[in-house]
Amino acid sequence: MLRWIASALDSSVGKKILMGLTGILLVLFLLEHLAGNLFLYVPGGEEAFGPFDAYVDFFPRFGPLLPVAEVALGLLFAVHALYAIRITLANREARPTKYVVRNDRGAKTIGSASMILTGLALLAFLVVHLLDFRFDAGFHGDHGRTVAAKLARPGRALFYLAIMAVLGVHLSHGAQSALQSLGIHHPRWTRFLRGLGIAVAVFFAVGFASFPIYYLFFWTAGGAH
């Protein structure tokens, strides 16, 4: 069984399928993450960040399942990133002598050409991001307010904004690419699916970017929101 999986994943197509799968799962995670973060916008009456805090505090109820899920999520990122790097390195080797002149025919996009760069940027972001919240004592004291306060700092906010643009670029190729990698392709749907990929990218980029924008420009530390 293990040998079978290993050999399957060692093949080029196996790697692609794995990239596609992990990519889609990451998108699903983002969906959940964005939905959760939207609680930040839900007015909480008395408690300024009541709904969001409640959402964050809900997780420990999963008990031992939570660390399991977190490790799984970590693995997801790790596998995705690791295979991304392996694939990129393998592809470099596949063309030892470069072309003197190189001219694409316009099929390649900024997104597809920069996957490894945007991916690595996301990886770097994750480190900062986890230190910001997941491993931040302040956050574990006062969830919502810490988020707001951190994102209200111009430096942080700009950094987050930049990364959300990067995320958009990554997904502009990644979303439809994952479908192709998993074998989902039909002439009738292709244009629609490629459009949908862009829509997904914009959706996440804008959705996440709204937080730093909001807290930077429209939020005062004393206010309710």
Q: Which residues bind another protein (CB under 8 A)?
A: 4, 8, 11-17, 19-20, 87, 90-91, 93-108, 112-113, 115, 173, 176-177, 180-187, 190
Contacts of 193 (CB under 8 A, 6+ apart): 176, 179, 184, 185
Residues 179-208 that bind ligand HEM (CB under 6 A): 181, 208
Residues 6-45 that bind ligand HEM (CB under 6 A): 16, 19-20, 23-24, 26-27, 30, 33, 37
Residue 43 vs 183, nearer CB to ligand HEM: 183
Q: Which does 93 bind (CB under 5 to 8 A by kind): another protein, ligand HEM, none?
A: another protein
**Cα dihedral 170, 17, 199, 78 sign:** negative
CB of 60 to ligand HEM, least distance (A): 9
Q: Is 111 in the site for ligand HEM (CB under 6 A)?
A: no
Is-contact 173 196, C-beta < 8 A? no
DSSP 43-87: --TTSTTHHHHHHHHHGGGGTTHHHHHHHHHHHHHHHHHHHHHHH
Tell me, by CB under 6 A, how many residues bind ligand HEM. 43
Taking the C-alpha atoms of residue 210 and residue 173, their distance in angstroms, rounded to an integer, is 22
Please state, as a whole number, how many other Cβ atoms lie within 10 Å of the Cβ of residue 156.
Answer: 17
Residue 44 vs 101, nearer CB to ligand HEM: 44
Stretch that binds ligand HEM, among 41-49, 82-90, 94-102, 185-193 (CB under 6 A): 82-90
Is-contact 91 15, C-beta < 8 A? no
Stretch that binds ligand HEM, among 2-10, 94-102, 172-180, 188-196 (CB under 6 A): 172-180
